[in-house]
Amino acid sequence: MAKKSSLKIIFLGGLNEVGRNIMVLEKDNNIVVVDCGIMFPDDYLPGIDFLIPDFLYLKKNVDKIRALIITHGHEDHIGAIPFLFRDLKPAKIPIYATRLTLGLIKSKLSSSYFQESDDNSLLNEIDPSKKLHIGPFDMEFFRVNHSIPDGVGIIFRTDIGNIVHSGDFKFDQYPIDGKVTEYAKISNIGQEGVLALFCDSTNAEEKGFTVPERDVGKTLYEKFEQAQKRIIVATFSSHIHRIQQVLDAAKKLDKKVAASGRTMLKTIKIASELGYLKIPDDTVIPITKIDDFPLNKIVMLSTGSQGEPLSTLRKMALAEHPRVKIMKGDMVIISSSPIPGNENAISSTINMLLKQGADVFYESIAGVHVSGHAQQEEIKMMINLVKPYYFIPVHGEYKHRIQCAKLAQSIGMTNEKIIIAQNGDVLKMNDNLCRISGNITLQNIYIDGYGSGNTEDIVLKDRKILSRNGIIMINTIIDSKKSEVIKEADLTLKGIIYMEEFEQIMNEGREIISDAVKKCFDNNMTNTQLIENNIKETFEKFFSKKINARPVIVSRVIDLGKI
């Protein structure tokens, strides 16, 4: 009998963080990748748009990659796909996803910057009722409820055992679209036997069951009834069920809905065209028409529930939106929960809206949001249905995954059967073993505009210093042939708090710069770059000693003797 090869599971992201989800399954020289998402930055990453996984391992093993399987259409699961395609080019990797998820991916790949990656022949629709065979993996899918339609979990059948990936899930007994989690499939694989369960841990700290989505719909309707003026609802553009409930409440109360925000408009278009969003007749209007109706008849759907700098709601809060100025009595509903790291931005947005006279309702005070992730009792139910031999918490910060592990222990799983992995870990599995066999060192890959790379040590370091201490630019004109300083140094300061004796310090600084240049000449140093470095080092020491601050110093020397 031929020896069965082991299965390797490699985590390239999604552990110790909420976002950047990507997991690699490798067996018999075949690789299947599950999800490929981004992570949004926190306040400690100034100017960074988002982070993507480190694809180096996949680049090195590109010939083994057979497929990319996507569980659902959230950015933390699909946002990095264009960057993966760019990095693996010219390799063509087929993508498998459900219908709505595929529509969102198509839109992402057809953006102008990534048009070269757009290849519809590689996009394959997952039918959850059908199985999929790729290499050594036989895959079966089960529908799950989440905060976006068309989410699935995955069953991988291999010769060493069955592996279950829960996807992002919750158990909603009466979902908006009527598509209940496929409990029978989950239970059946549990009866058959499961070697390992990889389980969503995001809400493992929350007791009980997740509140049904329909409860938010009731709250929204009540708020809409109470509103005396305009209503502005900010939510994730991907939250199709939430958008549906806003539309339905508006229709019942004879209000008009106008959407604002590029991603909101795009997602509504895709979801409605594919049949996942049913737009009531005579309800939606262009935002250019909102002034044609009484204030109490207007509902606006907006991006910006996370306080994003360029979002519609943030622009309204800053009084910078071209069409909408917040009025006293406007009702603003922020229908989402903060992504970790966004708390300050959201709080700032709320405060600015309140100062303009708006009535603001948000999750912690008004029940206008419910999560799409399973809470403690649902996680226990998933474990009991699947009955895994090994349990691996995924999709969450370290504290979430530790709590998820404790939940497994609380219903009888022993500690040695629970694996707490980290990003980069290589999990080796066979029919009687599951252990971490090594770790791949991963870099943080930052996206800033169209640029990307591991910029932490250089660019981010400078940005952090700039944000804390400001910058001083020194321009000096010399003549190296005559060994003279032609013009006293010109100092430009940005981001530095003014002091009473500042001018005196600057005059002293200019003298020190002149002395530094003269010392260079005395030592026969005429290289412009060396003189600039000497000015920078000398002034940095002087300034630090004088005001106990270390701003970024930029020195530029113009040498007339070399012109």
Q: How far is CA 270 from CA 73, 114, 428, in A?
A: 12, 19, 40
| Strand ranges for 454-531 from DSSP E | 471-479, 484-494
Task: Give the Cα-Cα-Cα angle 543, 546, 550 (nearest 5 degrees).
Answer: 40
Catalytic residue among 200, 330, 359, 448: 200
- Specify whether 373 is catalytic: yes
Residue with tokens 């279950």: 164
- Check: CB of residue 66 under 8 Å from CB of residue 30: yes
- Say what angle helices 213-226 and 240-252 make with each other, to 10 degrees: 40
- Check: CB of residue 146 under 8 Å from CB of residue 372: yes
Q: How many CB atoms lie within 10 A of CB 491?
A: 16
Q: Position 176: which residue type?
A: I
d(CA 318, CA 465): 27
DSSP for 77-90 reads HHTTHHHHHHHHTT
d(CA 561, CA 563): 6
Which H or E element spans position 388? strand 388-394
Output phi, psi for 97, to 5 deg: -160, 160
Catalytic residue among 77, 146, 373, 395: 373
- Say what angle helices 502-522 and 528-547 make with each other, to 10 degrees: 150
| Strand ranges for 404-551 from DSSP E | 425-430, 433-439, 445-448, 451-453, 471-479, 484-494
Hey, what are 181's tokens? 């989690």
- Specify whether 239 is catalytic: no
Cis-peptide, bond into residue 90, ω within 30° of zero: yes
38: left (phi over 0), alpha (psi -120 to 50) or beta: beta
Residue with tokens 């229908």: 335
CA Rg value for the chain: 28
Lay out the sheet containing 95-97: strands in order across: 123-125, 95-97, 65-69, 30-34, 22-27, 7-13, 425-430, 433-439
d(CA 58, CA 429): 20
- Check: CB of residue 190 under 8 Å from CB of residue 382: no
Q: Catalytic residue numbers?
A: 200, 373
